[in-house]
A and B are shown apart, each in its own frame.
Chain A
Amino acid sequence: MPFIPNTDADRATMLQAVGASTFDDLISNIPEKVRFKGALNLPEALSEMEVLEELNALANANQDTQKVTSFLGGGAYDHFVPSAIGAIISRSEFYTAYTPYQAEVSQGTLQAMYEFQTMVARLTGMDVANASMYDGATALAEAMLLSVAHKNRKEVVLAGKINPNAVAIMQTYGHGQEIHIRQSALENGGADLASVRELVSDKTAAMIVQHPNFFGCLEDVHELQKIAAENNALFIVSADPISLGILEAPGNYGADIVVGEGQGLGNTQSFGGPYLGLFAAKSQLLRKIPGRLSGMTVDKDGNQGFILTLQTREQHIRREKATSNICTNQALNALCACIYMSMMGKEGLTQVASLSIQKAHYLANEIQKLDGFKLKFSRPFFKEFAIELPIPASQAIAKLLEKKIHAGVDLKMAEENGLLIAVTEKRSKAEMNSFVEALKELC
C-alpha cells in the first residue's frame, strides 16, 4: 500500500491543472543547490501487518496500570472509571475532536456542559463554573491571570507546595505579562504561615494554595484565607475534586477561585493526557472567567434551551482587552466527568474519598513500621503521602517495577529526597501488603 495514494494519472491531472508538465517543472523556482539529493534516512517501507506488529510490540512495552499496580500520583491518579462512561462518550454526537462553536453546537452538548458546570460549582461550593479548561495546571495559570487583571496587581504568592509542573506553567503564562510569582517558605511540608504573612501585601493579586498540596498534605486553608482577605488579594484554591467528597468545599472557607485537575473524575490516565481543567469562581468574577460557559434560557415560546454565553471576553468581542485567549474546552473529558459525577452521586463520591483516605492511611502506617522508612511530614494528609526511605527513591522505583509495582513519584521533581505515594479506592489490602513486603526486601 503506497503511503501517498496518488496514482501517476492523479499526479498528471494535478500537474496539468496548475500548468506544469512535470514535478521538476512544478518546483523549478526552488534553486538546485538547496534541493535535497540522496536518500532520506528512513527504514525500508513496511506492510500494514508489519507496522501493526511493531506498534503492538511498542504498546506492550508500556508498564500501564492494567499490568502494574499503581501507587503513582502527583496529579494523575488511578481511580476507578465506570464502564458506562466509555459507552456513552463513544456516541458519535459526542465523540469528535472538533470544538463546536455557537452556530453548530447541539442542545445535547450544551446541556452536558451545563450539567457539568452545575456539578463542579456544587462540588467546589462556588457560584459559577466554566465548561472546563485544558488541564488543572493551565486552569491554575488562567486563575492567576484573572487575579492579576482583576486586582491590577502584578504579584502572586504561592502558599505551600504546589505541583512543580503547574508552577512551571504559571511561570510561562506569567512571563510576558511580567507577573512576579513568589514562593512562601515551607514548614513540615506545608505553607509556613509567618512566611506567607511576610510575602502577601497590597501588591499581591492572589494567594494561591494547593489543597491537598503536592506532598498530599492538608494546608491551614482557613488561616491562609484570612491573610489573603486582610490584604485584599484573591484567594485561589487548587483542589483535588475527589478530595471534595470528604473535605470542606473551598467556597465554604472563602475561596474566590477554585481550580483543579479533573482527571480523577472518570477520565483514564492515558499516559498524561488529555486531561480536564476545572475552573469555578464567585459570581463577582463572572465576566472575567476564561473559556466558555453554557447557560440555560428559554426561547420565544418559553421552551427551555441552552446557549454558549458570556464568552465575550475572548476573541469574539473583547479581543485585545480579554484577560484570556482561551476559547475552547475539553468537552469530551468534561462529559466523562459529568457522567462520572452523575453515576457516583454525592454518596458515591464521598465513598471514593473515604476509601482513598482510609487505604492511604493504612499503607502509610504499614510502611512506617519498616526499619529505615518514615513519613516525611507529620501534617494530616488525604490520599497521598511522602516517605523517606533508606535508599534513593529512583532505586526503589526501579526495583519495585520488576515486581510489577509502580512505587510512586520520585520527589526529585520537587527538589526533595523521598517518594510520593498515592492510594486510590482501587488498591486492595493484598496489593498494599505486597507493596510493603517489596519495600521490606529492599533493605
Chain B
Amino acid sequence: MNFPEDLKYTKEHEWVKLLEDGETVLVGITDFAQSELGDIVFVELKEVGTQFQQEAVFGTVEAVKTVSDLFAPVSGEIVEANAELESQAELVNQSPYEAGWMVKLKMDDKSQLDGLLSAAEYKAHIGK
C-alpha cells in the first residue's frame, strides 16, 4: 500500500498535496481508504466556490456497500472539482493520488497544514 512521503494526511483518510503556488492544495482519499471502501461507484462533490471550515463535509463517496463523507483537511474554498470523476468514479480506486484527486482548495490558513499527519504518522494511525 502506497503512502507518498510528499503528502499530508488526515485521520479521516484524506490526503493533501501542497501545490507550487503555495496557496492551494489538492485533496483526495488515501490508498487505504479506497481499498477499504471497495469499488467506488459515485463521487459527489460540493460546487466550486463553496467555502469550508476545516473538518466540514465537502462531499460524499459512494461505494457498492456504503456512502462515506469527505472531510475538508483545511479551511478554504473549492476552486476546482475533478470533473472526470462524474463519469469515471473508478479512478479513485485505480489512481487515488493522481487521476483520482477530488478537489482543489484555496487555503484560508496555511498553518493548518502543520497540524496534519505525515506519511509515517498516518501509517501508524491505520496500523500499517
Q: Is the interface of B mostly helix, strand, loop or mixed?
A: strand
Segment at the interface with A among B22-30, B61-69, B71-79, B94-102: B61-69
Interface string of B34-54 (1 = CB under 8 A from A): 000000011010000000000
* Nearest CB of chain A from residue B104's CB, rounded to whole Å: 21
A163 contacts B by Cβ under 8 Å: no
Q: Is the Cβ of A317 less than 8 Å from the Cβ of B65?
A: yes
Q: Is the Cβ of B60 less than 8 Å from the Cβ of A321?
A: yes
A318 contacts B by Cβ under 8 Å: yes
CA A287 to CA B66, docked complex, whole Å: 14
Q: Is the Cβ of B42 less than 8 Å from the Cβ of A318?
A: no
CA A321 to CA B67, docked complex, whole Å: 8
A417 contacts B by Cβ under 8 Å: no
* Nearest CB of chain A from residue B11's CB, rounded to whole Å: 21
CA A312 to CA B62, docked complex, whole Å: 9
Q: Is the Cβ of B60 less than 8 Å from the Cβ of A317?
A: no
Interface centre among A317, A318, A319 (most CB of B within 10 A): A317
What residues on B are CB-neighbors of A319 within 8 Å? 67
* Nearest CB of chain B from residue A4's CB, rounded to whole Å: 45
* Nearest CB of chain A from residue B37's CB, rounded to whole Å: 12
Q: Is the Cβ of B60 less than 8 Å from the Cβ of A287?
A: no
What residues on A are CB-neighbors of B65 within 8 Å? 317
CA A287 to CA B42, docked complex, whole Å: 9
What residues on A are CB-neighbors of B44 within 8 Å? 287
Number of interface residues, chain B, beta carbon within 8 A: 8
* Nearest CB of chain A from residue B89's CB, rounded to whole Å: 11
CA A317 to CA B42, docked complex, whole Å: 12
What residues on A are CB-neighbors of B41 within 8 Å? 312
Q: Which residues of A121-156 have CB atoms within 8 Å of chain B's CB atoms?
A: none
What residues on B are CB-neighbors of A287 within 8 Å? 42, 44
* Nearest CB of chain A from residue B109's CB, rounded to whole Å: 26
What residues on B are CB-neighbors of A312 within 8 Å? 41, 62, 67
CA A97 to CA B62, docked complex, whole Å: 32
CA A319 to CA B65, docked complex, whole Å: 11
**Closest chain B residue to A321 by CB distance?**
B67
* Nearest CB of chain B from residue A234's CB, rounded to whole Å: 15
**Closest chain A residue to B65 by CB distance?**
A317
What residues on A are CB-neighbors of B60 within 8 Å? 321
CA A317 to CA B41, docked complex, whole Å: 12
Q: Which residues of A307-366 have CB atoms within 8 Å of chain B's CB atoms?
A: 312, 317-319, 321
**Closest chain A residue to B46 by CB distance?**
A152
CA A113 to CA B122, docked complex, whole Å: 48
Interface centre among A318, A319, A321 (most CB of B within 10 A): A321
CA A287 to CA B41, docked complex, whole Å: 11
CA A318 to CA B61, docked complex, whole Å: 10
* Nearest CB of chain A from residue B59's CB, rounded to whole Å: 11
Interface string of A274-287 (1 = CB under 8 A from B): 00000000000001
* Nearest CB of chain A from residue B6's CB, rounded to whole Å: 33
**Closest chain B residue to A322 by CB distance?**
B67
CA A312 to CA B44, docked complex, whole Å: 14
CA A318 to CA B44, docked complex, whole Å: 12
* Nearest CB of chain B from residue A102's CB, rounded to whole Å: 13
CA A312 to CA B60, docked complex, whole Å: 13
What residues on B are CB-neighbors of A321 within 8 Å? 60, 67
What residues on A are CB-neighbors of B66 within 8 Å? 317
CA A317 to CA B63, docked complex, whole Å: 9
What residues on B are CB-neighbors of A318 within 8 Å? 62, 67
CA A321 to CA B41, docked complex, whole Å: 16
What residues on A are CB-neighbors of B67 within 8 Å? 312, 317-319, 321
**Closest chain A residue to B41 by CB distance?**
A312
What residues on A are CB-neighbors of B42 within 8 Å? 287
**Closest chain A residue to B68 by CB distance?**
A321
**Closest chain A residue to B50 by CB distance?**
A152
* Nearest CB of chain B from residue A21's CB, rounded to whole Å: 51
What residues on B are CB-neighbors of A317 within 8 Å? 62, 65-67
CA A317 to CA B65, docked complex, whole Å: 6
CA A318 to CA B67, docked complex, whole Å: 6
Q: Which residues of A189-243 have CB atoms within 8 Å of chain B's CB atoms?
A: none
**Closest chain B residue to A318 by CB distance?**
B67
**Closest chain A residue to B60 by CB distance?**
A321
CA A321 to CA B57, docked complex, whole Å: 12
* Nearest CB of chain A from residue B19's CB, rounded to whole Å: 28
What would 13 A/B residue contacts be, using CB atoms closer than 8 Å?
A287-B42, A287-B44, A312-B41, A312-B62, A312-B67, A317-B62, A317-B66, A317-B67, A318-B62, A318-B67, A319-B67, A321-B60, A321-B67
Given contacts A287-B44, A318-B62, A321-B67, 11 further A-B contacts (CB under 8 A): A287-B42, A312-B41, A312-B62, A312-B67, A317-B62, A317-B65, A317-B66, A317-B67, A318-B67, A319-B67, A321-B60
Leading 6 A-B pairs by shortest Cβ distance = A318-B67, A317-B67, A321-B67, A287-B42, A317-B66, A321-B60
